[in-house]
Amino acid sequence: MNDMSGLYSDITGQGSVVAARMAVEDFGAAAKGMKVEILAADHQNKPDVGSGIARRWIDIDKVDVIVDVPTSSIALAVNEIVREKNKVFLISGAGASDLTGAKCSPNSVHWTYDTWSTANGTAKAMVRTGGDTWFFITADYAFGHAIERDTSAVVEANGGKVVGRVRHPFPGTDFSSFLLQAQASKAKVIGLANAGGDTVNSIKQAAEFGLTQRGQNLAGLLIFINDIHALGLKVAQGLVLTEAFYWDRNDGSRDFARRFAPQAKGNMPSMIQAGVYAAVLHYLKAVEALNSDADGKAVVAKMKEMETDDPLFGKGKIRIDGRKIHDMFLYEVKRPEESSGGWDYYKLRATIPAAEAFRPLNEGGCPLASGQH
């Protein structure tokens, strides 16, 4: 379940469906006698629509596992429904770190990234290189609030200061008044606490205003390769961002991307789509080990018990709070002359080791982590 038609459709959408199908095929479900059916639906970035789909899928269509679900307000609602119905929720698209914090569930795994991990990577790097005053332009819903909160904490912990913030409607189209407020703040860094089409439009309009020429830097706190593709290197060059996956990182990622692209209109996979693939693969391994998908909580417990291992994220683990742990990567967008062609967009600035990439278990406030179920 995801956004099939709106501002997150490139980074999730049909590409996530392709990734889930690839996981089923690579697992060899048919040869193992497992009948796997994949349903897809568009939640339109509306919590009531997403909740309705989740209940219908579980109650009528007998769905065992719900996957992806960008837009944190919807993911938080689906999280409660899945827990109530004892099914499984594999979160790849949603970012709110609350999903493994106060709202953690024994029925959920948060796979790819979260607002803490992307804030930790990008904000820490920018503050340490002189970007010590920040102004936030924030999408006014659960995800935007969470990433602004998590980034502010990183900025302040590293000696920086937040000088202002403004909230924009979700989704947004005209960011001019918000950008002018950011410009007037004289902050060295304008933190874009939004994603997808909102981030792309913010960066395009900032370029039109010439903000970066006046000495202010943009920090996209959640940027995907599809966003860079939409912006073009001329506009996006020099942006620093944190990702969990890049298609050209190693042989495993390149092989996956080569198979994925022809099924996804020639697009390379986003980290969310890569996360869908890896999460579904690990879920199927757990179901096979249990020889049952009936008890959602038991399947997630088995997923946590088994070491994760796939060609996209390598070896890793799932913590008691449902947080999947792996390396994150700090990238810089190449200048046009540095790129060898289509989708060759990133150069690696730093690898953030798995042990440092995600919020420490004892800081999230997850009841599961303190033995309270």
pLDDT at 245: 98
Q: Of 276, 228, 7, 275, whose CA–CA distance to 117 is shortest?
A: 275
291, HSE (Cβ side, Cα atoms, 13 Å): 0
Q: Under a CB-based contact definition with an 8 Å cutoff, are residues 283 and 318 in contact? A: no
pLDDT at 371: 62
pLDDT at 304: 98
Interatomic CA distance for residues 103 and 365, integer angstroms:
9
Residue 213 DSSP code = G
Structural domains in the chain, sorted by start: 13-113+249-326 (3.40.50.2300), 116-246+328-357 (3.40.50.2300)
pLDDT at 215: 82
pLDDT at 373: 44
Residue 226 in tokens: 């599809």
pLDDT at 282: 98
pLDDT at 25: 98
By DSSP bridging, strand 328-333 and strand 240-243 are antiparallel
Please identify every stretch of the chain with a pLDDT value under 70, giving residue numbers as ranges.
371-373
Sorted by sequence, the CB contacts under 8 Å of residue 157 that are 6+ apart come out as: none
Q: Under a CB-based contact definition with an 8 Å cutoff, are residues 45 and 74 in contact? A: yes
Interatomic CA distance for residues 54 and 84, integer angstroms:
12
Interatomic CA distance for residues 10 and 4, integer angstroms:
8
Interatomic CA distance for residues 91 and 322, integer angstroms:
10
Q: Of 157, 156, 124, 119, whose CA–CA distance to 138 is shortest?
A: 119
Q: How do residues 103-127 score in pLDDT, each as one tens digit?
A: 999 999 999 999 999 999 999 999 9
Interatomic CA distance for residues 197 and 194, integer angstroms:
9
Q: Of 214, 153, 155, whose CA–CA distance to 179 is shortest?
A: 214
